[in-house]
Structures are given as C-alpha cells and as structure tokens.
C-alpha cells in the first residue's frame, strides 16, 4: 500500500499537469496512477496541501498562485520546440515571467532566458517540454 506522502506527490504532479475541477476527477486520476483512496481522503489532502481553485474551476497548488498570477497577466502564448518552450509575453514583461518560472522550481525546467517579450525555457527532455508548455498554458489561461 502506498503512503500519504506518495499520494500527495502524485496529487502535486496531477494538479500541475491536468485540469482537475472536482475531487472525484482527482480520485479517478489517482486511481489511474495506482492509488486507491476515497473522496474523503482526497478532501483531507486538498486541505492539508492548501490547494486552491482558480476562477476557471481548476485546482492549483498554493505555491503556484504567484506563478499563476504572473502568467495570467503577462503571457500571450506558448509553443514547444523539442526540449525548449517558447513563451510569448506582453511587451517588457518577459523578465518578470522568467523570474516567476525560475522561482517556481518546476519539474523539468533547467533554466530560462528572457528577452523583451519572449522567454526561452530550457527543459530536460521533449516530454518535459510538453509538460511545462501545458502547465504554462493552463496557468496563463491561454490553452
């Protein structure tokens, strides 16, 4: 049987990579990863992990709220190219976006380079770039 720490790690990954709107969706996603748990258990995890809901109804980690705010205010689009994510921003905001991405310590992100309205995000693999691109699009609400 897997423990609460493993389950919460899976929840963190699921919430960052999928649009989860209900506790039942989260239970189903956990079951897909081999965790057997109830809605009540997930409800406790949500409270203890300080998950919040965005205006669009998706769960987000409290630690990602600043990142979500910056991305939703400044990002206008994202594109993936192999192991690189290209983030287009409002003029003169790329440095703020790059800083927020660096501060978030996201999985797969190796570093960022910012211009005036573009951020290049180097990732550890093409699959990692896809996950990062999806997360940025989700948090910026450009998806």
Digit-coded pLDDT (tens) for 24-49? 999 999 999 999 999 999 999 999 99
The average confidence (pLDDT) of the chain is 92
Q: Which residues of 26-46 are buried (b: 16+ CB within 10 A; e: fewer)?
A: bbebbeeeebebeeebbeebb
pLDDT > 80? residue 142: no
pLDDT > 80? residue 78: yes
- Looking at residue 143, what is its pLDDT? 59
pTM of the full predicted structure?
Answer: 0.74
Q: What is the percent of the chain with per-residue pLDDT over 90, rounded to a whole number?
A: 73
- Looking at residue 16, what is its pLDDT? 86
| Mean pLDDT of the region 94-114 | 94
Q: Mind giving me the DSSP string for 53-83?
A: E-TTS-EE-GGGHHHHHHHHHHEEEEEEETT
- Looking at residue 59, what is its pLDDT? 92
Give the confidence band of 70 by pLDDT, cuts at 50, 70, 90: very high
pLDDT > 70? residue 1: no
pLDDT > 70? residue 63: yes
């Amino acid at each position: 049987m897997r423990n609460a720490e493993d389950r919460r790690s899976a929840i963190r990954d699921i919430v960052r990579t999928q649009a989860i709107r209900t506790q039942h969706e989260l239970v189903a996603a956990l079951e897909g990863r081999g965790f057997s748990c109830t809605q009540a258990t997930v409800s406790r995890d949500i409270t203890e992990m300080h998950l919040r809901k965005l205006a669009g109804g998706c769960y987000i980690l409290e630690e990602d709220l600043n990142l979500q705010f910056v991305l939703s205010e400044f990002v206008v689009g994202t594109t993936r190219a192999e192991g690189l994510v290209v983030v287009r921003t409002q003029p003169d905001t790329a440095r703020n976006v790059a800083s927020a991405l660096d501060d978030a310590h996201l999985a797969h992100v190796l570093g960022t380079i910012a211009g005036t309205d573009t951020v290049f995000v180097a990732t550890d693999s093409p699959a990692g770039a896809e996950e990062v691109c999806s997360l940025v699009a989700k948090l910026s609400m450009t998806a």
